[in-house]
Structure 1
């Protein structure tokens, strides 16, 4: 098991905060852009 500090991280496309890898994202980590469903939904609302 890896320590949390050793996991990959990204910056959220909406809020700009860093977030780390999660097990549920293991298959599609390359396409994950948002740290949460809330940020993803807020981005969609802002477009409309």
Structure 2
């Protein structure tokens, strides 16, 4: 069985809109290089 990782051990990025740091999520595993925004709200407000 796989061991759990601490959130502090996960890779992080800074949101392009709000500037806040956000951590890797399992749903972003295949597209982590393309993720730029921390949430849908920031993605919609990118203008």
Give structure 1 stretches of 5+ with no counterpart: none
- The number of aligned residues is 44
Give structure 2 stretches of 5+ with no counterpart: none
Q: TM-score, normalised by structure 1?
A: 0.88
Residue of 22, 28, 31 corresponding to 2:34: 31
Q: How do 1:4-15 residues align onto structure 2 when only pairs under 5 Å count?
A: 4-15=7-18
Q: TM-score, normalised by structure 2?
A: 0.90
Please tell me the root mean square deviation across aligned C-alpha atoms, in Å.
Answer: 0.5
Distance in 2 (CA, whole Å) between partners of 1:24 and 1:9 is 14
